[in-house]
A and B are shown apart, each in its own frame.
Chain A
Amino acid sequence: MNSRIGGVIVSHGQVANELLSAAETVVGELAHIAAVSIGWHDDVEAAKGEIERAIKKVSNGRGVLLMTDMFGGTPTNIAAMFIKEKEVELVTGVNLPMVLKLATTDGDANLAEVAKSVEEQGKQSIYRTGSLLEIHKTV
């Protein structure tokens, strides 16, 4: 298999681990995606070290996409220190469809294109489901 763009999910608490685990339940093992859960009381330097190790682990020479839980939060702020053009991109507000999007993306798209498609997938996948119920009544 061709090398793939790597991914690191970074979050407060255990959200990152659980998102990765949910995605793996759906599509199988994801060796090119890692999770870093930052404890509420973790030291910033320790958290930085963990993200750095995770980036190295999933990096295949095609770049790494960091996906963090919330813009403005500590996990995002620490992850943002690693942004580097063509090597590391960051998308915030990670949800399961975004992880699945990255998990199922292969091919030749570059890091910036993949980052954009993951961002768009995340936004597109949010529905106010009540507004769909009328349509769902039709089978």
Chain B
Amino acid sequence: MPEAIVILVNPLGLHARAAAKIVRLANEFESAISIVRPNRDRHADARSILGILELGAKQGSELKIEATGCDETLALEALTQLIVEGFGEI
């Protein structure tokens, strides 16, 4: 399963509107996508705003994105870019 490790760079961390952006982007793909916070052993479905919020990730937190499915590589690239670019907030 392709996965990527990213560091949250935006000052507000994984807040509600950022989580909503992840969900909107994830919904453009077919693959199953998870956002994982390895250091806290927490997993969230990338299509669940509330699940992502409960990761409690802040600026500097490490996140792992996992994707499985027909467009897993594209999904992983798109989500990585969104997070690495700070959700367009910085």
User: Which residues of A are at the interface with B, using a C-beta cutoff of 8 A?
Assistant: 25-28, 97, 100-101, 104, 121, 125, 132, 135-136, 138-139
Which residues of chain B are within 8 angstroms of A100 by Cβ–Cβ distance? 16, 49-50
Neighbour of B20 across the interface among A26, A138, A139, CB < 8 A:
A26
Establish whether residues B50 and A139, one from each chain, have CB atoms under 8 Å apart when the complex forms: no
* Cα distance, A47 to B56, chains bound together (Å): 39
A26-B17, A135-B40, A136-B58 known; A125+B50 contact, CB < 8 A: yes
- Distance from B52 Cβ to chain A, minimum over Cβ atoms (Å): 11
* Cα distance, A110 to B77, chains bound together (Å): 36
- Distance from B43 Cβ to chain A, minimum over Cβ atoms (Å): 15
User: Which residues of B are at the interface with A, using a C-beta cutoff of 8 A?
Assistant: 16-17, 19-20, 23, 39-40, 48-50, 53-54, 56, 58, 60-62
* Cα distance, A104 to B45, chains bound together (Å): 13
* Cα distance, A100 to B53, chains bound together (Å): 11
- Distance from B20 Cβ to chain A, minimum over Cβ atoms (Å): 5
Other than the given A104-B49, A104-B50, 16 more pairs (CB < 8 A) read A26-B17, A26-B20, A26-B49, A27-B20, A27-B23, A97-B50, A100-B49, A101-B50, A125-B54, A132-B56, A135-B56, A136-B58, A138-B39, A138-B40, A139-B58, A139-B62
